[in-house]
Each structure stands twice: as structure tokens, then as C-alpha cells.
Amino acid sequence: MAHISAGVATSHVPLIGVGIDQGKQEEPYFKPIFAGYEWTKAWIKKPENKPDVVILVFNDHASAFGQDLIPTFAIGCGEEFQPADEGWGPRPVPVVKNHPDFAWHIAQSLIIDEFDMTIINEMPVDHGLTVPLSAMFGEPDAWPALVVPIMVNVVTYPIPSGDRCFRLGQAIARAVESFPEELNVQIWGTGGMSHQLQGPRAGLINAEWDQKFLDDLTGDPDRLRQVQHIEYLRETGSEGIELVMWLVMLGALTNPKELHRHYHVPASNTALGHIVLENRS
Ligand code: DHB
Ligand code: FE
């Protein structure tokens, strides 16, 4: 049977991709940013931890979707996904390969389980998906895991609530557990932490709120499920709402144990957060 062995969350700041693609990891600005991923890069290489498939929960930033089409929850079921051109040409990273049979199984299970997923067969994938892969896997010729992309709209209101995202995670866990192939699956949540990219509060960071969020992923998940949009907006800035995608990851875990945490301020305009959670059954 397929099983979820771990949950991983990370910010997806585009500058992390720039730092890797342009070989800037040793520069003073980037060094502390990348230092916090060294533990994870070593951990994820070990045979017992290496995922066969990553269910990667991310948001598109108007690269594949625009105001013409706004799915709330979508799942990539196509064979592969090319890196998007976000204005400077596509990132020089490998194509993202899916496990289409597994993805279609998850889609079917979620829809029967009352989550009406949009099915995507073609989609360019932007920094929301490729930066976490680079942060965890570095610069391989091919990504070492298959990726099932799960896309959440956190750009145009109405955005799904944190609690609904958590319940989507629970439904994803049920879908994984009912897939007969023996697969080591990780679920990743991406985006956040506090940041605001525009307007008078651009540059806002709230380290105290972020640290409490990191603590409560294992300490008080029920509190996090109840955090309302208005609190994310007020306390974490307009783009801090990306954190609801971490709750999809959290909902898919049973009894998670924190293995590693990294928090660094600022990375570009963002409070960078990263956590690794073991899924204990
Ligand atoms: C930044 C952060 C993001 O999450 C994003 O999607 C785009 C930019 C930033 O801090 O620059
Ligand atoms: Fe973002």
C-alpha cells in the first residue's frame, strides 16, 4: 500500500531559485538561507526517507491561471509539467514527472469524498512548485521523485479556509492509503510565511506570529485550523495567506513529530520558514 511517511513545508520565495540557478549559495546574503536546508537535503537522500512520490501542494502565481479561470483546488494528472516562463525565461530545472495512475486515483477518491477537484493535464509550473524542489533536492539532472501537483487558489478571493484545507489533507491521506502500489509518499506544503508584496504594508514580517504557527503545527493544530482569513491578512500580510497550504500538508499527517525547523528573516520580502514532520502512525 502507499503510505505517507513525512510532511515537509517551505516558503517558495523566487529568490531561492535565483540563488541556486546563479550559483550564489556561498554569498553572505544567501548562506544563512541555504544553511537551513542542509539537514533536509541529507535526510531526504537516505534510502529510508527518499520519497517515491511527492504530493506537492502549491499555488500558481498567474503563470498557468489568470482571471479567466480560477480553480479553488486542482490536481495535476498529466504525464509531466514544464517549468513556467515567469518573465526571465523558464528556470533551468528538470521537467516535473507525475505518477498519472496515482494522481487519477487521488482525483477520483477526493471527488467521491466531496472535494470537487479541477483536473489539469497541461500546466506550466512556476516558482510555487519548482523552488521547493530545488531547495530540497538541489540541482539534479532529473528530479529524484515523481510529483503529484495539488494547486490551491490563494491569489484571488474567495480563498478556501484553513480548516477546509486541513480537511482536504485528511481526504488526501484517505486517498493515498487506498492506493495498492507500495509507495513511500511525502506531502509538501509550500508558500508563506508572513509577507506582503504590495501596498503601504509591503515588507511586513511578523516573526512572533510565524514562530507560534511553527510551534502549533505539532502543539495545537486545532488552533491553526480555526485561524480566519482576516487574521492572516492583519498579522502576516496579504501573501501570508499562502500558509493555508501548510494546513493541507498537516491534515494529511497522523500524530506528526517535528524533525527539523528553519526560520530566517528576510529572504527577499518574506519570512522564510521550513519544517520537516515525521508521520507517526
Ligand atoms: C516573494 C515571495 C513569494 O511567496 C512569492 O510568490 C513571490 C515573491 C518574495 O518575497 O519576493
Ligand atoms: Fe508565493
Contact 33, 16 (CB under 8 A): yes
Residue 192 has pLDDT above 90, yes or no: yes
Q: Which residues contact 17 (CB under 8 A, 6 or more apart)?
A: 91, 93, 127, 130, 131, 134
**Mean per-residue pLDDT of the chain:** 98
Residue closest to 205 by CA, chosen among 253, 239, 246: 239
CA torsion through residues 89, 94, 95, 98, sign = negative
Query: Phi then psi for 220, rounded to 5 degrees?
Result: -155, 65
Q: Whose CA is nearest to atom 4 of ligand 1?
A: 13
Residue 179 CA, ligand 2 centroid: distance in Å: 31
Q: Using pLDDT thresholds of 50, 70 and 90, give the confidence band for residue 249.
A: very high
Q: Which residues have any ligand 1 atom within 6 Å of their CB? A: 12-15, 61, 191, 195, 197, 239, 268-270
What's the pLDDT at 173? Answer: 98
Query: Facing residues of 248 across strands?
Result: none
First-to-last CA distance in the chain?
A: 14
- CA–CA distance, 106 with 171 (Å, rounded to integer): 9
Contact 244, 154 (CB under 8 A): yes
CA torsion angle 104 109 112 115 (round to 10): -90
Which atom of ligand 1 lies at the shortest distance from residue 128's CA? 6
To test ligand 1's pocket by mutation, which of 33, 239, 245 has the most ligand atoms within 8 angstroms of CB?
Answer: 239
Which atom of ligand 1 lies at the shortest distance from residue 269's CA? 10
Residue 269 CA, ligand 1 centroid: distance in Å: 7
Contact 152, 72 (CB under 8 A): yes
Q: From residue 202, how far is each of 42, 196, 236, 240 by CA, in Å?
A: 35, 5, 11, 12
Q: Whose CA is nearest to atom 3 of ligand 1?
A: 13
Q: Cell 521523485, residue?
A: 145
> Which residues form the catalytic set?
127, 195
Q: Whose CA is nearest to atom 5 of ligand 1?
A: 13
Q: What is the pLDDT of residues 227-239, one digit of tens each?
A: 999 999 999 999 9
How many C-beta neighbours within 10 Å does residue 280 have?
A: 10
Q: Using pLDDT thresholds of 50, 70 and 90, give the confidence band for residue 275.
A: very high
What's the pLDDT at 130? Answer: 98
- CA–CA distance, 125 with 121 (Å, rounded to integer): 12
Q: What is the DSSP code string of 77-122?
A: -SSEEPBPB-SS-B-S-PPEEP-HHHHHHHHHHHHHTT--PEEES-
Residue 146 CA, ligand 2 centroid: distance in Å: 22
Q: What is the pLDDT of residues 65-115, one digit of tens each?
A: 999 999 999 999 999 999 999 999 999 999 999 999 999 999 999 999 999
What's the pLDDT at 281? Answer: 74
Q: What is the pLDDT of residues 129-183, one digit of tens each?
A: 999 999 999 999 999 999 999 999 999 999 999 999 999 999 999 999 999 999 9
- Write down the domain spans for the chain: 2-272
Is the ipTM, as predicted for this complex, more than 0.95?
yes
Topology of domain 2-272, CATH: Protocatechuate 4,5-dioxygenase; Chain B (3.40.830)
What's the whole-model pTM score?
0.98
Q: What is the pLDDT of residues 5-30, one digit of tens each?
A: 999 999 999 999 999 999 999 999 99
Residue 239 CA, ligand 2 centroid: distance in Å: 7
Find the ligand nearest to 269 CA: 1
What is the helix (H) or strand (E) element at residue 146, kind and residue range?
strand 146-152
